[in-house]
Amino acid sequence: MTQANYLWNPPAVNSLPVQGSDLRFAVNRIFCVGRNYHAHAIEMGRPVDKSTARPFYFTKSPSTLVESGATVPYPAGTSNYHFEMELVVAIGASGFRVNEADAQRMIYGYAAGLDMTRRDLQLVARDQGRPWDLGKDFEKSAVCTEIVPIGHLGVLSTGAIYLQVNGETKQTADLGQLIWNIPELLADLSQFYHLVPGDLIYTGTPEGVGAVKTGDRITGHIDGVGDVALSIGAAE
């Protein structure tokens, strides 16, 4: 086999630590679910009627990944930089057009994540019918803890999820409040994509999203999964 010669070094593989292992979880794609808690959908002015709606998704480039505990610069182009606390499902086995009953075999594990958002840019895009990329798919916007293997956790259906900024609680909810639960999401998303090991799915945020500024420290928790943290540095 001929070794390819590149003009420059190919980008590094994006990856996350795995709890209890020296092996790292190589990240393929990052899918994010929009409006998956009723109270958050309402606070965004777009309530969800599950009887007529289906989930919707956007993506973040794998290069946007940043490990929990980092300090990130206040991002360019925004004056309304928001946190969104989310359960992340890490895929470890391929699946296409899977049934809800088959969802568990695809789950490698879970993580606690932050879907950081340039809210001002997202809402302009949304209201003009434009893509959300400027608001969502920007550098260091996908924060994630180590991956916790599924083990005894099984398919998570309940558990506290909350977020604090500088120690003050901003978001608090339970995974049982997800509009579309994990099996429903995997069944639906796999109608559109061949899910493969390394895919991450950010499952949506509860109500209480808000802005952070330089110097703030975000901490978040999901029962049984872990704690995520992010510090906001100066603008570049």
d(CA 181, CA 204) in angstroms, rounded, equals 10
Stretch that binds Mn ion, among 95-103, 105-113, 176-184, 203-211 (CB under 5 A): 203-211
Nearer to Mn ion, 13 or 53 (CB): 53
Number of residues that bind Mn ion (CB under 5 A): 3
Nearer to Mn ion, 198 or 204 (CB): 204
Q: Which long-range contacts (CB under 8 A, 24 or more apart) does 129-132 make?
A: 132/58
d(CA 104, CA 196) in angstroms, rounded, equals 14
Structure-token pair, residue 150: 């599924």
Nearer to Mn ion, 84 or 146 (CB): 84
- What type of residue sits at position 101? A
Stretch that binds Mn ion, among 50-58, 82-90, 158-166, 184-192 (CB under 5 A): 82-90
Residue from 31, 83, 90, 115 that binds Mn ion (CB under 5 A)? 115
Binding mask 37-76 for Mn ion (x = CB under 5 A): ----------------------------------------
Position 205 contacts Mn ion (CB under 5 A): yes
Q: Can you spell out the DSSP letters for 115-177?
A: E-EEHHHHHHHHHTT--SHHHHS-TT-EEE--BEE-GGG-S----EEEEEETTEEEEEEEGGG
Distance of CA 182 to the CA centre of its chain: 13
Instruction: Could you list the beta-strand ranges (E) of the chain.
Output: 15-17, 24-26, 30-34, 56-60, 65-67, 71-73, 81-83, 85-91, 107-115, 117-118, 142-144, 148-149, 160-165, 168-174, 200-202, 210-211, 217-222, 226-233
Stretch that binds Mn ion, among 11-19, 164-172, 198-206, 211-219 (CB under 5 A): 198-206
Report, in Å, the least distance between residue 113 CB and Mn ion: 9
Nearer to Mn ion, 18 or 143 (CB): 143
Position 84 contacts Mn ion (CB under 5 A): yes
Stretch that binds Mn ion, among 2-10, 71-79, 113-121, 192-200 (CB under 5 A): 113-121
Position 137 contacts Mn ion (CB under 5 A): no
Stretch that binds Mn ion, among 53-61, 90-98, 114-122, 146-154 (CB under 5 A): 114-122
Report, in Å, the least distance between residue 84 CB and Mn ion: 4
Q: Which residue bears the tokens 């969104």?
A: 84
In the complex, which residues of this chain contact Mn ion (CB under 5 A)? 84, 115, 205
